[in-house]
Structure 1
Amino acid sequence: MPQLDPSFWPTQIFWLFVTFIPLYVILRRAVLPRITAVLESRQRHIDSDLERAASLKEEAGAVLAEYEKTLAEARERAAAAIKETSDAMAAEAAKRQQAFAQELAEKVKAAEARIAAAREQALGQIATVAVEAAATATEKLIGLQVREEQVRQVVDEVMGGRG
């Protein structure tokens, strides 16, 4: 093998330098700056994306906080509206209940007055019937005609003693 023969080494070293040095210079001056520029561009792009993601995350956090604040305010307004409506309905119910109780009390008083009037009328009719019955019974049983005023006085005394 000629590579291992020391007599060929000087020519091999010469051709090594002849090919390696221009290749190195081409790589160093043309390819390496392009690779470096691409890597730096990628890094700038990545850093830009990370900064943008961080700012979007902060913005999303702010939007979320605003949303939660708005939602809490809406819940508070809804609760206040519900409480206000509930209070208004309770007040209206109490007002109607009071009006109903008052109307019912008036109807009870009117009914009691009608009952008392009917009772007085019935008692008055009973007294008239009792006077007529007593006068008729006295006349038939004893054969005596009594004046209506006397019979009424006796009936009133008897009914007054029981009533």
Structure 2
Amino acid sequence: MLVVTAAHAQSNPTEGTHSEAGTPGGDAHGGGVFPPFDQSTFASQLLWLAITFGLFYLLMSRVIVPRIGSILEHRRDRIAQDLDEANRLKEEGDNAIAAYEQELADARKKAAAIAEAAREKAKAAANAERTSTEAELSAKMAEAEKSIAAIKAKALADVDTIAEETASDLVKHLLGGSVTKAEVADAIRAASGK
């Protein structure tokens, strides 16, 4: 890219020869000055700098920047869509959780009501069974009391007869005599205080 002017080519006659020892006048660039710093080539360097900068600027402004801008815009839109979708899914999840919690609360209320009804039903059945059992026991107790009273009355009635017979037998065996039933009955009544 270096443009060599005619004045530069004429001023350095040894330009075509190489000197490995680095002798004066044998420098490949002539005069020992680094070519970009050579003042005689500033104009052409500035021209090429302006052209290169302009082309690079056009390339950046017409091709690269719009592509990067479209990529950034596409990513921004995609991120916005993803955020909207995430918010929508979060709302659906929150609604589902709220519905689940409501159904769970309703189920707990129903379970409590069923348990209370079962408790009341069991309590009523137990009360009815207890009442029935108490009535049955009361009837049996009354019947047993009647039976005991009858047995007691019969036993008391037989006690006098048994006492008379026993007393009569005792008198016969101990005293060797006989006693009438009326005498024994009078003696028993007197002894028992009747």
TM-score w.r.t. structure 2 length? 0.69
- What residue number does 1:108 align with? 141
The structural deviation recorded for 1:27 is 2.2
Alignment of 1:9 onto 2:42: yes
Question: Aligned letter for 2:35?
Answer: P
Q: In the alignment, is residue 52 of structure 1 matched against residue 85 of structure 2? A: yes
Q: Deviations 1:2-34 (Å, cap 9, x if unpaired)?
A: 222333221111111222212221221122211
Letter of the structure 2 residue corresponding to residue 62 of structure 1: N
Mapped to 2, the partners of 1:36 and 1:2 lie a distance apart of 40
State yes or no: 1:34 paired with 2:96: no
Conserved? CA contact 2:164–2:188, under 8 Å = no
SS of 2:43's equivalent? helix
Task: Using the TM superposition, name which of 15-24 and 134-143 deviates more.
Answer: 134-143
Matched pairs, number: 160
2:53 counterpart residue number: 20
- Identify the range of structure 1 (36-45 vs 15-24) with the bigger mean alpha-carbon deviation: 15-24
In the TM superposition, residue 131 of structure 1 has moved relative to its aligned partner by 4.1
Q: How does 1:92-107 map to 2 (within 5 A)?
A: 92-107=125-140
2:57 corresponds to which letter in structure 1? Answer: Y
Aligned position for 2:152: 119
**Structure 1 residue identity aligned to 2:46:** I
Q: 1:80 aligns with which of 113, 117, 120?
A: 113
Query: 1:111/1:152 Cα in 2 relative to 1: closer, same or farther (>3 Å)?
Result: farther
Residue aligned with 2:35, SS: coil
Q: Which has the higher contact order (CA 8 A, sep 6+)?
A: 1
Q: Quick check: 2:171–2:178 contact (8 Å CA) kept in 1?
A: yes
Query: Matches of 1:87 and 1:159 in 2, distance apart?
Result: 64
Larger Rg computed on CA atoms: 2
**Change in CA separation of 1:120 and 1:45 when aligned onto 2, cut-off 3 Å:** same
Identity across matched positions, percent: 33
Structure 1 residue runs without a partner (length 5+)? none
Question: Runs of 5+ in structure 2 lacking a partner?
Answer: 1-33
**Bigger fraction of residues in helix:** 1
1:21-59 per-residue CA deviation (whole Å, 9 max, x = no partner) reads: 122212211222111111100000001111111111111
1-structure distance, mates of 2:136, 2:116: 30
C-alpha RMSD over aligned residues: 2.8
Q: Please tell me whether the aligned partners of residues 163 and 188 of structure 2 are also in contact (alpha carbons under 8 angstroms).
A: no
Larger deviation, residues 27-36 vs 73-82:
27-36
Q: CA deviation at 1:114?
A: 1.3
